[in-house]
Amino acid sequence: MQFISTSLIAIMAAAVAAVPTPNATEVSATAATQLIDLWVDKDFLGLKFTGSSTVNTCNNLSGGFQDSVSSGKAKAGFRCTVWVDNDCLGTGFSFNTSPGSNLFPSWINDQSSSWKCVTA
């Protein structure tokens, strides 16, 4: 009887040890992370929006930032896109961390409604 109990404990311990743990890439892909900075004025000036989300997830701008941003930067390691329509639809404009975009093109300046960032 003691042999069966000892064997059962050893098997259970081995099963727990065999469960894989997520690596850092998997965790960062599912955790909300600061991904984007947007400003209402050109040259990264004025009110600033910092967007946090999961990577590769579309987000709609809200409040005073929808249809009012003029410049932006992706956080390090990401490439971000802003779209003229909600739900990342319509025409989009993409930018990286450096140099970012100190002035969005006229067709999207003060017309951005949504954003999404992916790993660069």
Tens digit of pLDDT for each residue in 31-56?
Answer: 899 999 999 999 999 999 999 999 99
- What is this structure's pTM? 0.74
- Token pair recorded at residue 68: 């009012």
Domain ranges (residues) in the chain: 25-119
Q: In this predicted structure, what is the pLDDT of residue 31?
A: 80
Number of Cβ atoms within 10 Å of the Cβ of 40: 16
Spell out, as residue ranges, where the chain has pLDDT lower than 50.
1, 3, 5-28
3-state SS assignment for residue 54: coil
Q: In this predicted structure, what is the pLDDT of residue 30?
A: 66
Q: In this predicted structure, what is the pLDDT of residue 46?
A: 98
Q: In this predicted structure, what is the pLDDT of residue 24?
A: 40
Q: What is the largest CA-CA distance in the chain?
A: 79
Q: In this predicted structure, what is the pLDDT of residue 63?
A: 86
What is the topology classification, in CATH, of domain 25-119? Gamma-B Crystallin; domain 1 (2.60.20)
100 Cβ neighbours under 8 A, 6+ residues apart: 44, 71, 72, 73, 74
Q: In this predicted structure, what is the pLDDT of residue 11?
A: 44
Q: In this predicted structure, what is the pLDDT of residue 41?
A: 98
Amino acid at 93: F
